[in-house]
Amino acid sequence: MNGPQTVETSQTRFEQTLRAMNQKGRFQSAVLATMDGLPLATVPSSFDAEATTAMVSLVRALINRVYHQLHLAKVDEVSLIGGDGKRLVCRYFTHDGEDFLLAVVAPPDQSYRRVTTQAIRAIKVGLSGQGHGSGQA
């Protein structure tokens, strides 16, 4: 039911949400992807799709291991901190039965949780508008 224009409009809306989030949080880059590794939006747009797929696979495997081995009921965030203090923050969320990943590269000592939570809320509104949970892209 979603035509190319609807998908393109949703992608643009998600990119606008990510740009605003990056500006507010002073993030270097952000990606919104399905847990299958399909990027829905990346900012800047030059972010590598192969890297996104690899990152999603890594996070998904880590979440599964944590769930099964440590018996944590729900993992909603995985963070990696580099030697320079930069953080890769992967926020995991579900909307309408489908799992998504919002990942950002945050500068050292920069608060990110509130900004990413606001972005996730906006993304969920966008997902509701495009009927994503029905399996349509």
- Domain enclosing residue 128, as ranges: 4-134
| Per-residue pLDDT reduced to its tens digit, 83-131 | 999 998 999 999 999 999 999 999 998 899 999 999 999 999 998 876 4
- Amino acid found at 9: T
CA distances from 48 to 29, 35, 69, 104 (A): 11, 16, 31, 14
The backbone torsions φ and ψ at residue 109, rounded to the nearest 5 degrees and listed phi first, read 60, 25
| Per-residue pLDDT reduced to its tens digit, 53-85 | 777 778 878 887 888 888 877 788 888 899 999
- The total number of structural domains in the chain stands at 1
Write 19-23 long-range contacts (CB < 8 A, 24+). 19/43, 20/119, 21/104, 21/115, 21/116, 21/118, 21/119, 22/104
- In angstroms, the CA 39 to CA 33 distance is 4
CATH of the domain at 68: 3.30.450.30
| Contacts for 29 with CB less than 8 Å, ≥ 6 apart | 22, 42, 43, 44, 47, 104, 105
